[in-house]
């Protein structure tokens, strides 16, 4: 550990343990009017992409030869802390860190520890992350110490050869070691599996059984038309979850559940395993009517909808007033103005009659998973 990393980590632990900043002042945000969009949906969930970089190149998420952002365009960890804290002060109760792969960001544990202070004050209900699992063996215990209690791990197959083909650069054994470490550390784990026709359609029963054995929940996700990976490849991947659910019903008893995690998944309880199975269906049955989420990129761009291009630049107001000034009025004003433009729903569609199977040009890794 470098001196800088040690200093940042220590500062994060101190802030997390006593809820104060370096000047001894409380970090508890002042009560503020809630963030309401034009359809009176309260925005209480912020997903934050801390980096666009990843140590995998999943075929449905990235092109093989990705061009990543110059480091100069990426917000510092201190800036990300300030931005996230501004959202918490405006009523956001759940923060999810994403990427790319969030755990490949240098000194990321400092940010997680800093954000954990809001759990201590009661301003934040949950701090969590979505990861590919490659770094969990290293980070599982520190994550728990920082206040993280639950993680989502992206895992589409239990076949090592298929895993290598889907991720291009990944190794299944490394992810399984990370899952074992996370489980041992006490993290609650949910597996996210993208349903890919012709790829993992012969494994869905195996995934359900394995998650039951391991004590993991499981969510299936429809492939989303984001980023240019080739029209025919995208169309070939698409497997509607209505068909997935029908296939699962041949072997498993799925009972409706009112369980909610704050995200878009709708859950059933699998009677045979005792675990929950979720379904995220942006195409066959969108979940826009109850959307409580916005997404912040590592450049400070706020996307108001995953499937729309309208966005707000929060980096400019963030940097216009230095953090030492203590004045976030311009920043919170920009956030509130952006929320007034949140659309009713997305435009995701996959249709062979269209010339493109890409609804939005940016890759999922740019916005955050």
Residues 165-206 have pLDDT tens digits of 999 989 999 999 999 999 999 999 999 999 998 999 999 999
> Is 236 part of any known ligand binding site?
no
Q: What 8-state DSSP symbol labels residue 294?
A: E
Residue 45, marked binder: no
Q: How many other C-beta atoms are found inside a 10 Å radius of the C-beta of residue 142?
A: 16
Is 94 marked within a binding site? no
Q: Write the DSSP string, 153-190.
A: EE---S-HHHHHHHHSS--HHHHHHHHHHHHHHT-EEE
315 has binding-site annotation: no
Q: Is 96 annotated as a binding residue?
A: yes
Is 294 assigned to a binding site?
yes
> Is 365 labelled a binding residue?
no
Longest pairwise C-alpha distance within the chain: 61
270 annotated to bind ligand: no
Length of the chain: 369
Q: 54 among the known binding-site residues? A: yes
Ranges of beta strands (E only) in 62-115 are: 94-98
Annotated ligand binding at 47? The verdict is yes
Would you state the pLDDT for residue 238? 82
Let me know: does 274 contact 217? Beta carbons within 8 Å.
no
Kindly report the pTM of this predicted structure: 0.82
SS3 176: helix
Residue 211 annotated as lining a ligand binding site: no
Is 58 part of any known ligand binding site?
yes
100 is in an annotated binding site: yes
Counting as low any pLDDT under 70, the low residues of the chain are: 1-31, 224-236, 262-263, 282-288, 307, 345-369
167 is annotated as contributing to ligand binding: no
Residue 224 is labelled as binding a ligand:
yes
pLDDT value, residue 114: 98
Angstrom distance (rounded) from CA 207 to CA 127 = 26
The domains located in the chain, with CATH, are 41-367 (3.20.20.70)
Strand, coil or helix: 125: coil
Q: What are phi and psi of 322, to 5 degrees?
A: -55, 150
- Rg from Cα positions in the chain: 20
pLDDT of residue 355: 43
Q: Is 170 annotated as a binding residue?
A: no
């Amino acid at each position: 550990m470098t001196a800088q990393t040690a200093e940042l980590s220590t500062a994060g632990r101190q802030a997390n343990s006593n809820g104060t900043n370096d000047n001894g002042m409380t970090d508890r945000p002042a009560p503020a009017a809630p963030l309401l969009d034009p359809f009176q949906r309260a925005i209480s969930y912020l997903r934050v992409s801390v980096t666009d970089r990843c140590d995998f190149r999943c075929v449905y998420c990235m092109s093989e030869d990705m061009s990543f952002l110059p480091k100069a365009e990426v917000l510092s960890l201190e800036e990300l802390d300030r931005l996230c804290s501004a959202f918490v002060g405006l009523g956001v109760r759940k923060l999810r860190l994403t990427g790319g792969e969030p755990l490949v960001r240098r000194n990321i544990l400092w940010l997680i520890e800093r954000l954990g202070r809001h759990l201590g004050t009661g301003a934040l209900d949950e701090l969590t992350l979505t990861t590919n699992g490659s770094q969990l063996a290293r980070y599982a215990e520190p994550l728990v110490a920082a206040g993280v209690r639950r993680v989502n791990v992206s895992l589409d197959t239990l076949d090592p050869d298929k895993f290598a083909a889907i991720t291009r650069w990944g190794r299944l054994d490394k992810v399984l070691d990370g899952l074992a470490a996370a489980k041992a550390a006490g993290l609650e784990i949910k597996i996210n599996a993208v349903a890919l026709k012709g790829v993992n359609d012969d494994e869905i029963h195996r995934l359900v059984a394995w998650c039951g054995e391991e004590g993991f929940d499981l969510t299936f996700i429809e492939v989303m038309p984001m980023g240019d990976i080739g029209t025919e490849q995208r169309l070939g991947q698409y497997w509607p979850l209505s068909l997935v659910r029908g296939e699962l019903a041949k072997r498993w008893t799925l009972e409706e559940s009112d369980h909610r995690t704050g995200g878009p998944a709708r859950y059933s309880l699998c009677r045979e395993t005792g675990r929950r199975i979720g379904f995220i269906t942006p195409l066959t049955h969108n979940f826009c009517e109850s959307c409580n989420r916005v997404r912040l990129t590592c450049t400070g761009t706020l996307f108001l909808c995953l499937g729309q291009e309208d966005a707000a630049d929060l980096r400019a107001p963030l940097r216009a007033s230095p953090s030492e000034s203590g004045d976030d009025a311009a920043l919170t004003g920009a956030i509130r103005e952006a929320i007034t433009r949140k659309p009713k729903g997305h435009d995701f569609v996959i249709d062979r009659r269209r010339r493109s199977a890409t609804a939005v040009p940016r890759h999922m890794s740019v916005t955050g998973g």
